[in-house]
Each structure stands twice: as C-alpha cells, then as structure tokens.
Structure 1
Amino acid sequence: MLSPHVVRRAAFLSLLFAGALCACPLRGQAQGLDGLLEKARAAQSSGKYAEAAVIYARSTALAPATPELWSNRGVMEYLAGEIDPSIVSLKHALRLKPGLYVPMLFLGKAYLQSGKPAQALPYLTHAATLQPSDPELLLALGKNYAALNKPHEAESAYADAARVVPANPAAWLGLGTASLAMIASDGQDLAGLQAQSIWARALFADELLAQGRPLEAIDTYNVALAKASSEQKATLVRNVSWLEAHPDLFPLPANSQEALRKFDEQLTSTTSNSQPPSCATSQMPLASADCAFWAGDYERSAAYAADVLKHSPQDPEALYWSIKSNERIAVAALGRFEELAPQSAASFDMVGDLYRDQRQMENALGEYKKALDIDPHDPGALLGTVVADIAASKLDEAAAVDQLALADHPQDPQLNLLQAEILTARNHYAEARPYLAKCLAGPPDLQPRVHLLLARADAEDGKNDDAIREYELALPGDRDGSIHFQLSRLYRKAGNVARAQKYEEQAKALIALRRINAAIEVREMTGATPSQ
C-alpha cells in the first residue's frame, strides 16, 4: 500500500518538473500543457493514478522531449498497477536524461513488482548512489535483496531504513524477517557443514534450554566442553555464566533456569584457571563478536561475525555468533513492528504462525482470518491458512484457499507443493503431477518432499524404477525410516535383495534413533535418570 509520504513526494515532483517545461513547447502548446498538468496533479492528489497516467500520456505527446514528463507518466502508470507500460515510460525518461533519480527508483520497483528482482537490482543500486538515505529506496532494496535470497544485504538495507525512519513499521518488519532469514541460512550451514563442531552443539544446547529440556541441554554442553580447547572452553563457560545472569534478556522456563544455575556453579568451580580472550584487549573478530553480544550490541556482534564469514563461510564459531546475534535483532525488530502496527495483517500473521508452531490450529486460523479481513490477498495469511487447514485435516478448505493464493502467485513452489499434498492425500496422483513439476526448481529444503510425492505417484502407476529413483532423492527428508522401508520393499520387488536388506537395516536404525529421542523427551518431562 502506498504511504501518504510517497503520494506527497510524487505530487511535489510533478510540481517541480512542471516548472522546467516552459522552454520546450510552443506558446499555444505550453498553455495546453499547463492545463493538462493541473488536471494531472488534481487526479494524482485524489489517488486517481490511472486517470493521471492518461493525462501525462497526452502531455508527453505535446512535449515528447521532456524526460520529467515521461518519468511522471511512468510513476502514475506504476501506481495504477500498469507495470509493463510504466517500464516503457520510465526507460524512455532515462534515455532522454540518464541521471534522473525518480525513473531509476521506480524502474527498480516496477521490475521487482513484476517478479524480476535481478533486473531491478542495477536500477536500485544506481539510485542508491544518488540518494542513499531515501527510505523508499532502502525499503525497495531490502525487498529486492530478500527476493534474490541475499538476507545479509536485505538486513543491511532494512536496518538503514529503520535508522532513517524509525517510525516506519515496514522497515522493522523487513529487518525482522531478514534477520530470521539470516538465522535460517546460517543455521542450515552450521547444521549441515559443521554439525559435530562444539559451536553447533552449544547452539543446540541453548535451544534445548529454551524448550525446557535442561537435562538434554546439559548433556549437550558437556559433549561440547569435552571437545573444546582451553580457550574455547573458557568462552563457553563465560557464555553459560552470562546466560544464567541475564534472565531478563534470555528468559528460560523455570526448570531450565534452575538447571543452568547449578551447571554454572559446577563449571565455575572446575574451570577457574581457564581464561577467555579479554574483551578490552582482543583484536580477534570472533572474540569481539562474543564481547559485543553479551554487552547487548547485537548489531556489532553480527557485523564482526559477518566479516569472518566473508573469508571463511563455514567457520562454525562465526556462524554461531551470527545466529545468536540475529536472533536478538529479529526479536527486537519484530517487537518494534508490533508496537507500531498492532492491528496490521502482518502482526496477525506473526501471531498466527506462533499458534501454528504450538499446534493450536484453530487459534492460528482465527489470527489468519483477521489478517485476511484486512487484506484478502495477504500471502502470509493465505499460506498459513492452508498449512493450518491441512494440519487440522480440513482438506477441502485448504484446497480452496490454496487456489486463491495460486491465482496471485501461480509459480510459487510452496503453494504448488501444498496443492500437490492435498491431491495426493486424496489419491489424485495424476492431478498432482503438474503442481509438483512447478516445485522442482524451488528451494532445496522442499525437494525431499517433492520427490517423495513423485515417488508415490510413480509407485501408484506401477513405474517401479522411476519410483525407486524418486524415493532415493527423497531420502534426506526421512526422519522415521518410512522412506527407507519403501525403498526396501521396491528393491525386494525388483529382485535386488542386497539393496533391499541395506535399506531395511537403515530404516531400523532410524526407528531406533526415534525411540531414543522419545525416551529423552520422557526423561525431560519426568526428570528421571536414564537407566544404565
């Protein structure tokens, strides 16, 4: 939605540009042009952008060599939702006068609006060299970088926007979501590339504490400490102490708080001779990231970690501090957004997502409905509604809402995958295939599920070899052994007993691991000591 600030700014630019026109047309044409510009300004100030665009089109016919008129025409076409014509007009303005800021900015926005962020980026970055502090530009850059899956750059642009216009809720929402994207990206790298590092284990232990699972958390901390060097051990011990000392900043369930207090006392008494790098004298970026984080300067901590990751993208300690600091940035930014826009669709989306994470589907659906009452096309609410409806076994409702969302975003891989999920749940495999085909170029985290559904479709059609190939591509998503068992069954059917036995053994191992995890959950709930 266009802000009043933008409307006023566009109106001001029209007035400014009109003053430069008198030398261009003949006197009679100038008089006619002045009248057209008055009408265009009146239409624009009333929000009648399509009407204003038509009037500016007539103006460019009278003064075709005036770049500002072409710029105004393109901006009005953009605001009227006429994206393709606006791109033509804005490009023509830049051909006439390459250094104009407004057509550069709106060309970037137009390409972004049309789903072409790669084409938008050169215009937006060039515009940033002209007016680097324009909040409208910073917000567009943040959105564009997010669309290009560049969360670090998106976070930086949104942070700049929040500094320039601290009362703008869109800046804080963008900053919060970009920080969450950074957490997801770094978390995937840490879990996938450095899963056995002490920093991955320490991060997992922190998360277990937050979940109220202190026994497992302490076990995980101890594994990390056993592998740590003396300096790393000192850093981890200090982190545990500061975590225990700041319940206001890092709230934990009561059982985790008590367990952490006892663990801190134990660590302090057994590692008193180990000293971490001094915050006052250290020149090491990661020691500075550590110190900045516990001093509450999360932005600086994230910056130190980012500097290391530029040269060493898989450094586990840098990933750890990047995740920890971005968690705090996200919490603060989203909290500020909720203060500024408590009744916005995005606020209801966030609350709905929280309910959904807690498996309170009816409450989640209630929040998404509030968002859709404000904006029937709100993508977050539509997606959340589909997921919650599926979880509540409301497949008819889920299918209907997903189709509404697909009408707005027909190539979206997640929406297409959800429609395929619904269809395969009803055994409509042939109808699901076109939706699955649109998912194959989607994000890597969706691919195991896509291939699993394709495998089921192939198996249903009696295509044994194709089903085996798809099931093997789906293996990274197997958490309970079911995919391995399906492969075992298909290989046995094909006469390959050796591979059938291999996958059957792997399935049993996954089932055993699942039982261990279930036992750990019981232990956390009861506080029982594991049997020897």
Structure 2
Amino acid sequence: MEGREDEGHRSDVGWNRLPDYGIRYRRPGRKAGLSVTGCDGGRKTDHNGPLELEPHRPLENQPQRLGWGTGVACRQFLDLRHRLRKGVCSILRPRRLRAFLVVVLLVAFGKGFGALSQQGVPIRSTEQAEQAPPASFDVLYQSGISSLRAGQADRAVEALTQAVRLNPNSKPARCALGQAFINAGQQVESIEQFQKCVELAPSDLQSQYNLGQAYLRLALTTAGKVLESGDTSSYARRIFAENYVGKKAFTEAETQYRLALQGEPEARDLHLAIGDLYLRMGKPVQARAEFRKVLDGIPVSLAARYRLAEVDFLQGDFASALAWLRSAIRLDPGFLRSHADFPELAASGSSLGDVCSRLSKFALTAPDDSALTFLKGTCRRNLPPRTLRMPGNAVSGDTRPPALVSAGDGHELTASELCLAGLCKACEDRLRSALTARFANTETVSEVGQCEYEAGDYESAYRYFLDLAKQDAKHLASLYWLQESARRLAAQSFDRIRQIDPDSYLVHVLSARSWEEQQQTARAIQEYKAAIARRPDAVNVRVLLGHLQWKWQQYDDALQQLMEALRLDPANPAASYLVGDIWVQKHDPEKALPYLNKALSLRPGFLNAEASLGRALAQLGRFQAALEELNTVASADQDGSIHYQLYQVYLKLGRNDDAKAALAVSEGIRSRHKGVLLDLP
C-alpha cells in the first residue's frame, strides 16, 4: 500500500492492536470489517505444540500511529501499559509484569489435536451424546477440532460442548471449547472453560497462559466499549492516560488524568494516580502534594499513608517513612503483610541500592519494630544477596491478601471512602446489607465490586462487574472496572507462568512482546530468539518474530523465520500472508501470488491477504482483478490506505471520477482519525 513505509516500519492498526501478525479476518456471511463481537477472529494452527495463537479481525495496515477512535471496538488497547489503579485500600498491586502490559498471544492446537475430516462426521443431539458410548467422545472431540480448523466456530462449540458433557475432566476438550467460544465471540464463556483447564492442571503453563489471554481479550473488548461511548468521558481519559504512561509520555498522561479529574472531582484515586506519575517523573515534591490531598480528604487513608512512606523512603527520609508506616499499622495491624513489592515505584536497582545502604546505617540505632523490619525486608527482597549487610531478622515472606479490618466503624466516611482509606471490612459491612436487599441498585453493587477489587479479590470483583455489565451494557463505571478486574486477573495468570517456570519459552515470548510494544526492537528480537532456542518447533513464535521483522522492514530476516515456519507448518495462513506481502513490498508480485492465494484458501475472508493480493495484481498490471480484490475489503478500510489504492487503480483504468471519489473517501478516513491518533515516542 503506497506510502505506508514513510515512518521506517510497517504496522497493523485497526480494531484491536494484538500480536496477530497483521491478520484481519471476517466471518463468512458478514460484511468485511464490520463484525464486532469481540477481539477475536480466525485462528492460527501450530502443529508442533500447544502454544495457542489466533489472528484477529479486522486489522488494517497504516503508518505506526496509535489511536483510539470512537466507534472502534478494541483500538490498540493492548498498547497500554497496565496502569494499576491507585488509591485502593490494600494497595495490593502484583509485581508489574512487563509481559502483561502487552501480551495476548492466542490459541493454536498441537499435533496431539489431530483433526478428522469434517465431512461425514455426524454431530449428535445433546440427548444422543449423553446416551452414546464412551468412544463417541473421540468423534465429537475430533469433529470440534476439525470445525475449529475450518473456521466454523458455532459448529465447533456444538460438538465440543457435547464432548465436555461426556467427559467433563478432559482438559484438551475444555481448552478446545474455550478456543471455540473465542472464535464464536463468546469471551465470558471462553474464560469459564479456561478456568476449568486451570483447575484440572494448575501447574500447566499453557492452561495458565490461555486463561490469562482470555481475561485480557475481554479487557480489550470492554475497554473498547468505554471508548465507543465517547473519548471525552472521565473513564476514557483514564485509559488515554494509562496508554501514555505505558509509552513513558508522562506529560501527556498527566494532562489526561487532569481532564479525568475534571469529570470526577471527588475521585481521590486520581490524585493518587497523578502522584504515582510524579514519582515516575522524579518529582517527589509534587507527588507528596498529591498524596496529601487524599489524606486531607480522608485522614484515615492507608493508600495515601503508604504512598507517602514510599516517597520518604526513596528520598532517604527513613524516620518520616517509618512514621507513615506505623500510622498505617495502627489502623490495620495486618497491613504490611500484603505489600511485598514495596517500594512499588522504585527507580533503578542502583538507586535503590544507595537508599538501602543508607537504611542499613540508620537501622543500627533506630528502635526495631514491624515497620523497620518491613523496610529492611524490602531491601533484602529487591537487592541481590550479599549486596549489603542489614541488621535484624528478615521480614516474613507472607504475601497474603490484607486483613479486612473494621477500624473504619468510628469514622464518618462513605463506603467508597472507606474502600479508598483501606478499611475494607467496614466498607463491605456497610454495603452488604444493602446488597442483600431484594432490589440492590447498580451503584451499591458497583461499590461492593470496588471493595472486592481494592481488597485484592479480583475474581469476586470481576463477577460483580460482569453482572452489572450484563444488566446495563452502557454503565461506564461498571465497564471500566470490569476491564480493570480482567486485566488484573490476566496479570495473575501470567505471573503464575513465571513462578512455575521462570525460563519457559512462554516467559521469553511475554518479555519479547513487552519490548516490542516499547519499540525496543533489538531486545524483542533477542527474546523471541531465546524462546525459539528453547522450543525450535514453536511455529507461532517464529511467525511473531517474522511479523516483528516485517513490520520494521527487515524483510530478509523475516523471510528466514517465516519460511522455516512454513516448513514446519505448510498450512499456516499467517506465515503465508506475511511471506506474500514481503514479496509485494519487494515489488516481486509473481513470487507473492502463490503465498497470498494460499493464505486466502486456508482462511477465506483474510482481509490483509486480500488487500495485499490487490496490490500484487496492480503491480502485474491486472487492474480489473486488483479492483475486484480491493473493493472486497474496502469497507474494512481503517486508515484510508485501501481507498488510496483504489484511487491509483481507477486512475490506471482511466476512471477519473471513481478515482476522485476514492481519494475523497481516503482523505476523509484519514481526517477523521487524525485527531485521535497518538504519536509513538
């Protein structure tokens, strides 16, 4: 597509920004680019292992600019860093997984899922399936897998649902059904199945991975719904701010947080978020001022006290840091047990080492108590062994959720303020009586959900906000907190992968995706290669690496990875498309055609392949055929590039009026998105 390489690399930007190799897919019978049931689509099959990857629909290529547009369902939400909500009572923020910030690798089935031919395989009714002999499970299971590979999600759901009824403890069937629900656009149902997979095999990396990516996919879609409601709502502003934080564009993030605060002047958690932002910017004075604003409004706020202790600790003012921690302990004696990640916004290890070195001297004369022991334990956890000598015993490794205290009963605070203060038990006690009433209102249920979220019980929070979203699909607060809960649950799943096997190839893939989203291409490539070294037959990882190299126009390196992927899996539509498009970019359309046609035969409705095929045909001078291909995907044009190609083809055909109209549409699309696209740092 002409003019797309002017910024040094190529990109996939459209309905959603996911590691999907640039795939856009539309289901048969639906208009191209307009089917929006979630951030999912066609699937990529890895015949050499269980890592699951899935191309998505619809995704259009354009210059690498990150945008959030109204009416765009999941537009690039994955580019966000996971900005954890500040001001929560527990301040229970899991260690920041770089992987969670960016990763949603999707599902492909391995050789063990060998498919039967779908033709001639009967799909029995539920009653027949329940009465069938055990052997019928294999037939139903293989039929479901065959349907998945054929892109027939509804039929796959039917067959695999019956298979699961026959054998509820079959992890492969559960996981396959989860993937079928994904392809059918039923994200909540997919999460339920992947939860079962984890229950059946808690230590299985792939099960944890599938569950995490299912939660994250739901978060993406839900965030898209928030943005569809308008890009000026306070919740949209929060998302924009989080996006900027992830890009380290802190000034822009502050602007968005301030705009959100204008819409929610009583949202003290936004002051905490701004304070955290100032800490990242190296502005402790401004950070302290923001945290003080929260404390002025809610004197018993554990969140503010914790943050102030963090600021003073990093500044080396240990006496003040201890005073804040001790005041928090008086409100909640179990408070410190849940904060193994303190200081959560510390800078580099070297600066932390300097702070801890000074703390070791301070601790020689300071009276020992639980607060000081906590700070000493912080240094032991965050620095390599023998880096410094710290007097006293190590703090307990207990990382249980915070105690739910009732200290707030003597304070005149609303339930929401109690949650923000950290007095979760008091918050819940006040709200649950209303929740058990016959007709609990939306706001009450939402507050209970926030209490659960702020207590670190993200699963319960997820269920509350999911129920609210089902009742009112336009309630922005519920949608926002639903996606926050889902993202936190995804983070937990990805964290478990690291805990189970820190050197797993999946961990390297997660890290690669993180570096990729930070535009650290060399480091991302290094991590992908590390993953491939640990699992050479992982086709999907090779495709991800090839996709990254394709995006940055490293075509020769990309071809090396993609051709090896095709050797391992000749029926890989993503690899076929990328190889074909590389030859289009190299202006060798004769070499491109076989790969693009193969991609389309494997995955009908593969929009990127259709667009690339249109360009290849134009390069060959087959303008009428190119016109037909481009018109097939024109309705999915997200950045104006397809209509610009149409403009060029119309000119070649001498259809000047049509060319003028196509150019006008192209410019109109570009103009509509100009105001919402965000420049990469």
**TM-score normalised by the chain length of structure 2:** 0.51
Residues 1:391 and 1:2: Cα distance change in structure 2 (over 3 Å): closer
Distance 1:257 1:474 in 2: 47
* Structure 2 unmatched runs, 5+: 1-47, 51-109, 300-411, 418-426, 435-439
Q: Is the 8 A contact 1:417 1:435 kept in 2?
A: yes
Aligned pair 1:110/2:142, yes or no? yes
Identity of aligned residues (%): 19
Deviation at 1:376, TM superposition (A): 3.4
Aligned to 1:456, which of 594, 615, 624? 615
The residue that corresponds to 1:291 in the other structure is 451
Q: Is the 8 A contact 1:368 1:381 kept in 2?
A: yes
Distance 1:517 1:118 in 2: 37
Distance 2:639 2:450 in 1: 34
Aligned pair 1:319/2:473, yes or no? no
Deviation at 1:406, TM superposition (A): 4.1
Aligned to 1:476, which of 613, 634, 638? 638
Aligned length: 430
The residue that corresponds to 2:407 in the other structure is none
Q: Specify the code of the residue in structure 1 equivalent to 2:270.
A: V
Deviation at 1:495, TM superposition (A): 3.9
Residues 1:126 and 1:475: Cα distance change in structure 2 (over 3 Å): closer
Residues 1:110 and 1:506: Cα distance change in structure 2 (over 3 Å): closer
Residues 1:420 and 1:153: Cα distance change in structure 2 (over 3 Å): same
Aligned to 2:220, which of 146, 167, 184? 184
Deviation at 1:293, TM superposition (A): 1.9
Deviation at 1:422, TM superposition (A): 0.5
Distance 2:193 2:210 in 1: 9
Task: Report the 3-state secondary structure (helix = DSSP H, G, I; strand = E; otherwise coil) of the residue aligned with 1:114.
Answer: helix
Q: Is the 8 A contact 1:348 1:368 kept in 2?
A: yes
Deviation at 1:252, TM superposition (A): 7.6
Deviation at 1:372, TM superposition (A): 3.2
Distance 1:313 1:396 in 2: 47
The residue that corresponds to 2:588 in the other structure is 428
Distance 1:205 1:314 in 2: 21
Deviation at 1:424, TM superposition (A): 1.0
Distance 1:500 1:85 in 2: 43
Q: Is the 8 A contact 2:271 2:293 kept in 1?
A: no
Deviation at 1:128, TM superposition (A): 4.2
Give the greater-gyration-radius structure (CA): 1
Answer with 263-272 or 126-135: which moved more: 263-272
Aligned pair 1:240/2:270, yes or no? yes
The residue that corresponds to 2:558 in the other structure is 398
Deviation at 1:390, TM superposition (A): 2.1
Distance 2:220 2:670 in 1: 30
Q: Is the 8 A contact 1:135 1:161 kept in 2?
A: yes
Aligned pair 1:197/2:224, yes or no? no
The residue that corresponds to 1:75 in the other structure is none
Q: How does 1:32-43 map to 2 (within 5 A)?
A: none
Deviation at 1:126, TM superposition (A): 3.6
Q: Specify the code of the residue in structure 2 equivalent to 1:466.
A: L
Residues 1:239 and 1:415: Cα distance change in structure 2 (over 3 Å): farther
Q: Residues 181-211 of structure 1, C-alpha deviation per residue, up to 9 Å, x if partnerless?
A: 2223223333345444332222222332343
Q: Specify the code of the residue in structure 2 equivalent to 1:476.
A: Q
Q: Is the 8 A contact 1:491 1:499 kept in 2?
A: no
Task: Report the 3-state secondary structure (helix = DSSP H, G, I; strand = E; otherwise coil) of the residue aligned with 1:381.
Answer: helix
Deviation at 1:386, TM superposition (A): 0.9
Q: Is the 8 A contact 1:386 1:398 kept in 2?
A: yes
Aligned to 1:466, which of 614, 627, 631? 627
Distance 2:612 2:120 in 1: 43
Task: Report the 3-state secondary structure (helix = DSSP H, G, I; strand = E; otherwise coil) of the residue aligned with 1:377.
Answer: coil
The residue that corresponds to 1:12 in the other structure is none
Residues 1:80 and 1:192: Cα distance change in structure 2 (over 3 Å): closer
Answer with 392-401 or 486-495: which moved more: 486-495
Deviation at 1:270, TM superposition (A): 9.2
Task: Report the 3-state secondary structure (helix = DSSP H, G, I; strand = E; otherwise coil) of the residue aligned with 1:84.
Answer: coil
Q: Is the 8 A contact 2:639 2:666 kept in 1?
A: no
Q: Residues 343-390 of structure 1, C-alpha deviation per residue, up to 9 Å, x if partnerless?
A: 333233222322333334443334333433444331331211211332
Q: Specify the code of the residue in structure 2 equivalent to 1:239.
A: D
Task: Report the 3-state secondary structure (helix = DSSP H, G, I; strand = E; otherwise coil) of the residue aligned with 1:477.
Answer: coil
Q: How does 1:27-106 map to 2 (within 5 A)?
A: 83-84=115-116, 99=131, 102-103=134-135, 105-106=137-138
Q: Is the 8 A contact 1:455 1:471 kept in 2?
A: no
Deviation at 1:299, TM superposition (A): 1.4
Answer with 390-399 or 495-504: which moved more: 495-504
* Structure 1 unmatched runs, 5+: 4-77, 522-532
Aligned to 1:253, which of 280, 290, 293? 280
Answer with 345-354 or 176-185: which moved more: 345-354
Distance 2:530 2:540 in 1: 12
Q: How does 1:123-522 map to 2 (within 5 A)?
A: 123-129=159-165, 132=168, 135=171, 137-192=173-228, 194-226=230-262, 228=263, 233-234=265-266, 237-241=267-271, 243=273, 253-255=280-282, 262-263=289-290, 265=292, 279=427, 280-281=430-431, 283=440, 284=442, 285-391=445-551, 393-406=553-566, 412-433=572-593, 435-436=595-596, 438=599, 447=607, 449-450=608-609, 452-454=611-613, 456-457=615-616, 459-460=618-619, 461=621, 463=623, 466=627, 469=631, 472-473=634-635, 475-478=637-640, 494-496=655-657, 499=661, 502=664, 506=668, 509=671
Distance 1:168 1:337 in 2: 9
Deviation at 1:326, TM superposition (A): 1.5
Q: Specify the code of the residue in structure 1 equivalent to 2:638.
A: P
* CA RMSD of superposed structures (Å): 4.9
Deviation at 1:258, TM superposition (A): 7.1
Q: Is the 8 A contact 2:156 2:177 kept in 1?
A: no
Q: Is the 8 A contact 1:349 1:380 kept in 2?
A: no
Distance 2:229 2:573 in 1: 26
Q: Residues 47-102 of structure 1, C-alpha deviation per residue, up to 9 Å, x if partnerless?
A: xxxxxxxxxxxxxxxxxxxxxxxxxxxxxxx998765399999999x999954685
Deviation at 1:433, TM superposition (A): 4.6
Deviation at 1:333, TM superposition (A): 0.6
Distance 1:423 1:105 in 2: 45
Q: Specify the code of the residue in structure 2 equivalent to 1:240.
A: L
Task: Report the 3-state secondary structure (helix = DSSP H, G, I; strand = E; otherwise coil) of the residue aligned with 1:212.
Answer: coil
Distance 2:581 2:114 in 1: 35
Deviation at 1:180, TM superposition (A): 2.1
Deviation at 1:173, TM superposition (A): 1.4
Q: Is the 8 A contact 1:420 1:435 kept in 2?
A: yes
Q: Is the 8 A contact 1:487 1:503 kept in 2?
A: no
